[in-house]
Amino acid sequence: MANRGGFSSKLGFIMAAAGSAVGLGNIWGFPYEVGQGGGAAFVVIYLLFCFILCFPVMVTEIAIGRKSQKNAVGAFDYLGFKKWNIVGKMGILCGVLILSFYNVIAGWAFGYIFEMAVGNFDIANHFSEFIVDVFKVGAYGFVFMATTAYVVSKGISGGIEKAAKLLMPTLLFLIVSLVIYSLTLENAMAGVKFYLVPDFSELNGKVIYNAMGQAFFSLSLGMGALITYGSYVGKNDNIVSSAALITLTDVGIALIAGLMIFPLIGYMTEGAMTDVGRGPALIFVTLPQIFGTIGGTLGAVVGTTFFILLCFAALTSTVSLLEVPVSYIVDEKNIKRSKAVWLVAGLIYLIGIPSLLGNGYSEFFSNFITYVGAESATDFLSFVGHVANDTLLPLGGCLIAFFAGHVWKKANLDEELAQGAPGYKGSFIQKYLNFAVSYLSPIVLGTLFVLTVLGTFFGINLI
Ligand code: TRP
């Protein structure tokens, strides 16, 4: 078998996995979910889910990967449960779907770098025209996908790890600079208050459901991305402490992203915080308006910096999404990495075209499907998001945890986690992980899956 390569160090792995986790989900998704979910109460629930529910699944994925040294499908075969490799296959499908639309959005963010650089803040009023210009945004997406493919083609230590080691510290520097700047603005504190002082009367089933999905997606769980990355981890590295650092980084960056965005909104709304609940438009409409209010060269610099930051975050995530199918093909089909990468990336770009066209350009893809009981149609990009993020990911996570707890068995999981972690056995964390992996995570994630299927696709809203 060809040499699969691997991360050069524990730190390299942590950076790459944190890079996978930190993405559009943190800097775009998290703040708008907070805005829609009533602010700090959402944040509290989100944090609980990350540590109590998601962290155990992360540990499990990495352990399965490292034990087997295989891709998301081959890992189940290696452990002796060939039937279960359907979970890995579902994960690969899911990765392909997510990357297909994620790249479209990353392309928008990439295009916005240039709009901000020339001071075109008026784009805030023309976002819907911007995304209808499919040849232009399609080209931006093409460049983004090609960059992703280039990184993955260079392999694990020479590509994925190297890119993460460059992009992640830069990202941290940029985001902290923007936080400091936005905190100096007038009415910044109104934003901070909205963001950090919880009002639990805002909580309801829907907010909790969203917080759960957001946490799971943000940590890149449920589709074997971390099985794949785990397969490149050294046998002497401590999985539990690595996973803790990855979770902390992801949560930390999401929290910092809120600290960057809400003061800006406080500034623009003169403390009224009226414009926070706008959902996805937050980044592409509200923020450019704010950069326009700052105005001039400073506005352009802040705006450009923000979208560069967003693209860096997205790139380390698209890289991880592409690596999942690539690793499968390299391991199982014996195709050379360089060839597999360009093939898969090209294919995923094509699969993404309906998501590109469905934002006003093509009537058919813009009103692609009307769910049972829904009043209006859903566009293709959102549809794929509902299938992949909201349905397949929680199902995958539920099955992966159940598999580790009851099929592969806890003792084997423990054995793998104890490697490189003296003192793990018998610890409180071991007992907690065993409980969560066997019962808590599968039950909660299974519930999330059922709620999505019933609520989104069949109009039966239990929450
Ligand atoms: N976590 C990334 C984000 O927040 C997206 C992502 C990358 C992802 N790889 C994944 C999500 C694997 C789920 C599974 O933007």
| pLDDT, tens digit (0-9, with 9 covering 90-100), for 181-232 | 999 999 999 999 999 998 888 889 999 999 999 999 999 999 999 999 999 9
pTM for the whole structure: 0.96
In tens, the pLDDT along 224-277 reads: 999 999 999 999 999 999 999 999 999 999 999 999 999 999 999 999 998 787
437: exposed, middle or buried (Cβ count in 10 Å: 0-12, 13-18, 19+): buried
Question: Using H for helix, E for strand and C for coil, what is the string for 86-130?
Answer: HHHHHHHHHHHHHHHHHHHHHHHHHHHHHHHHCCCHHHHHHHHHH
DSSP state of 370: -
Instruction: Return the number of other C-beta atoms located less than 10 Å from residue 189's C-beta.
Output: 14
67 contacts 235 by C-beta, under 8 angstroms: no
At a CB cut-off of 8 Å and minimum separation 6, what does 231 contact?
4, 65, 66, 68, 69, 70, 71, 75, 327
pLDDT of residue 277: 78
Give the position of tokens 């996805």.
280
Ligand 1 atom closest to residue 24's alpha carbon, by position in its atom list = 15
445 Cα: distance to centroid of ligand 1 (angstroms): 17
126 Cα: distance to centroid of ligand 1 (angstroms): 28
The residues of the chain scoring below 70 in pLDDT are 1-2
- Counting ligand 1 atoms within 8 A of each CB, the residue from 50, 218, 315 with the most, and so the one to mutate, is 218
Output the ligand 1 site: residues, CB below 6 A. 20-21, 23-26, 98, 217-218, 220, 223, 225, 317, 320-321, 393
16 Cα: distance to centroid of ligand 1 (angstroms): 12
pLDDT of residue 280: 79
21 Cα: distance to centroid of ligand 1 (angstroms): 5
pLDDT of residue 278: 78
CA-nearest residue for atom 14, ligand 1, is 220
201 Cα: distance to centroid of ligand 1 (angstroms): 30
209 Cα: distance to centroid of ligand 1 (angstroms): 18
